[in-house]
Chain A
Amino acid sequence: MLKTFSIGGIHPAENKLSADSAIQALPIPQMVSIPISQHIGAPATPVVKKNDEVKVGQLIAKSSGFVSANIHSSVSGKVFKVDDIMDASGFRRTSIIIKVEGDEWLEHIDRSEKLLTEISASKEEIIKRVGDAGIVGLGGATFPAHVKLSVPPGKTAEVLIINAVECEPYLTSDHRIMLEKGDEVLVGTQILMKALEVNKAIIGIENNKPDAIAHLTKLATNYEGIEICPLKTQYPQGGEKQLISATIKREVPSGALPIEVGAVVQNVGTAYAVYEAIQKNKPLIERVATITGKSLKNPSNWMFRIGTPVKDIIEAAGGMPEDTGKIVGGGPMMGKALSSVDVPLTKGSSGLLLLPREETARKATKACIRCGKCVSVCPMGLEPYLLMVCADQKNYERLEKDAVMDCIECGSCSYTCPAHRPLLDYIRLGKGKVGQIMRARK
């Protein structure tokens, strides 16, 4: 009996179309636009101006607070302008636009493929350099990694959990990283263990990736304290709290952080980025994304430079299919539809899903029949049908009482609802409002 989290969950069709496609390097575009806010927290402050020459890996925007992240140039060339351009949600946000000239890297970045297993950096040094490298959680939440590594006083980390679940259907970027960069991931995990001063790490992988489980299990014998934990395929196992429940059978209390139960969770892509930053001095300037879709010619995985326009990766995968109805940034469950293909790919872009028109059409909403399916699939034990009604009626007190803030926005409720009610849309709205009220109270 394989492990999984304790309550709720669904199992949508996996559709991992690009699982066998090796990671390829996406050609460097002529122009990149790098938003200064690609992470949760305060936007970074630009430190370059128009016509400045930049090299690959050079700092172009500085972290502007504790919860914030540095941003580095992903290309070499000249800063074209610092201006507001459209982000993935259509709002205009400050971005640094760089005209590419050649591909000149900063000298101290080690670009060789050689595996460096020796970890010479100290705990403090690791945390500092992870912060300097602008690494954020690459699973999609983009929470600055150094903040998670800085364990608050009075708390101790007991175990590091590496999130290699990739529970979103379609996405395969983490899967490919594990297969192709297995050793690097494990060294990265050891670096993270050193930063947290723990001697145990668990890598949680769903059993729909048997090759990755076998590969890492074999490699892990060379590394001390790393355990590979195969998990039953169940969405949303990649949620932090769900993964902790699945791997170490501990429940994070409502409103608390994982450190409360002695766990720190990092994504497998983050572990790889940490390896690159500490061992190779390479800041977070590129990452892997899956581009996929049933009608797409060539569903594949690409290593792209941050700031590359979305249309470039679509082009690389064989162009946009005729019947595309929606382009979703991220996976089908939690991803967000893009309003334009001109927006840049950012640190949080784990995938791009081109859905055919007939699959995107929303079905007509009907009345709630009180079947309770949403309640049974909610991984946080909430009552989505009730939260939706409360959000619609603006009953924020009740929403807060019913723990709307615990919602992880996984969308299992909307997915399962037989009346096609937009449960999550309303819950997210209510969550936003309650969050505002709670912050105002402080």
Chain B
Amino acid sequence: MSIIAITILALCAIGVTAAIILYFVAQKFKVYEDPRIDEVEEALPAANCGGCGYPGCRGFAEALVKADDISNFNCPVGGAAVMSHVGALLGHEVKAADPTVAVVRCNGTCENRPRTNQYDGATSCSISASLYSGETGCQHGCLGLGECVEACNFDAMYMDEETGLPVIIEDKCVSCGACVTACPNNIIELRKKGPKSRRIFVSCVNKDKGAIAKKACDVACIGCRKCEKECPFDAIVVENNLAYIDYNKCKLCRKCVVVCPTNAIHELNFPPRKEKPAAKPDAKTVKPAAAAKTEVKDAPKAEPKANDSKEETSDNK
């Protein structure tokens, strides 16, 4: 009996002593952590994608709390809503950043870009890129082995089996940039989502001379500079035989799309073109998207106004 009592007492004594020691040690080595970090972390989407440039949401929260000015910080997943919430928590004024989305700048489908050889190595774009130029005559374009799809943590991409190219599901894309980093050929770019998701971009990264590019792929940018001359806003620059549209300058007038001889410039989520010029913005008469090559002299501003009710999503090539 006494043994049981002694054991219990001894254990209690050890427990109490340890508790006292631990209490003082905890006091001595206490690490102060800003309670706001937890709050901010709570507000973040917990996707831990690294799209903000910090190691996970916790790291981002720490950086946000530490910073004096958070205007340069952006959570691509949460977007403006989350950032304004975070701003409110930390007492900062937050200007809404333009949402961005990933776009695949290659339209080298099996049809447009014939295969010249067959790759049977390891299924990895980086390995293929380190070995040779790829299965087609274009050494810049998509290798089609899906490393970007594998990198996507949000199920926002898939490989289109018919075209052999990755497709981005706009609604799911959080613009974290994982696919951008994964692509060895730097095909994917984060671009401003644009009003009503309307975007214009050059869907090609081929820097070869026109003739070579065209031979390799029917829809390659040949660097003819027609779009550069056409653009009224100086948004297009042709460098190394490749046009690039600056999305901050682009006013979405779509003039470049029309002049491009190889259809390398893509427009996304625009309503079908009207037959008549914008002088008479009649929203009722619309032409099918297939006839997009007709010369249209639209005033850029008339565009959205005339077609507000006609939201249509063209397929994301």
Q: A-side interface residues toward B, CB under 8 Å?
A: 84, 86, 89-92, 336, 339-340, 360-362, 422, 425-426, 428-429, 432
Contact = CB atoms under 8 A, between A and B. Distances in A.
Interface in B129-154: 130-134, 139
Nearest to B129: A429
A422 B121 contact: yes
Contacts of B126: 429
Contact of A429 (B124, B132, B133): B124
B228 interface: no
A339 B132 contact: yes
A89 B131 contact: yes
Contact of B127 (A339, A361, A362, A426): A426
A422 B120 CA distance: 11
B6 interface: no
B240 to A, nearest CB: 12
B208 A92 contact: yes
Contacts of B139: 90-92
Contacts of A362: 120-121
Q: Which of A84, A91, A339, A360 has the most CB of B within 10 A?
A: A339
Interface of B: 116-117, 120-122, 124, 126-127, 130-134, 139, 208, 212
A92 B139 CA distance: 8
B122 A91 contact: no
Nearest to B138: A90
Contact of B117 (A91, A339, A361): A339
B300 to A, nearest CB: 38
B117 A340 contact: yes
Contacts of A429: 124, 126-127, 130
A92 B120 CA distance: 22
Contact of B116 (A340, A361, A425, A426): A340
A89 B122 contact: no
8 contacts: A89-B132, A90-B132, A91-B132, A91-B133, A91-B139, A339-B116, A422-B122, A432-B130
Nearest to A361: B120
Contacts of B127: 422, 425-426, 428-429
A339 B143 CA distance: 14
Nearest to A388: B122
A360 B121 CA distance: 11
A362 B123 CA distance: 12
A385 B12 CA distance: 53
Given A92-B139, A339-B116, A340-B116, A425 B133 contact: no
Contacts of A339: 116-117, 132-133
Nearest to B184: A429
B122 A425 contact: yes
Contact of B133 (A90, A361, A428): A90
A92 B121 contact: no
Contacts of B132: 89-91, 336, 339
Contacts of A422: 121-122, 127
Nearest to B139: A91
A432 B184 CA distance: 13
B246 to A, nearest CB: 27
Given A89-B132, A361-B120, A425-B121, 11 more contacts: A86-B133, A90-B134, A91-B133, A92-B208, A336-B132, A339-B117, A339-B133, A425-B124, A426-B124, A428-B127, A429-B124
A336 B122 CA distance: 14
A397 B203 CA distance: 36
Q: Which of B122, B208, B212 has the most CB of A within 10 A?
A: B122
Contact of B122 (A340, A361, A426): A426
B140 to A, nearest CB: 10
B201 to A, nearest CB: 25
A425 B127 CA distance: 7
Contacts of B134: 90
B271 to A, nearest CB: 40
A327 to B, nearest CB: 10
A91 B133 CA distance: 5
A214 B91 CA distance: 88
Contacts of B122: 422, 425-426
A91 B131 CA distance: 10
Q: Which of B116, B132, B208 has the most CB of A within 10 A?
A: B132
Contacts of A425: 121-122, 124, 127, 131
B316 to A, nearest CB: 29
Contacts of A340: 116-117
A336 B126 CA distance: 17
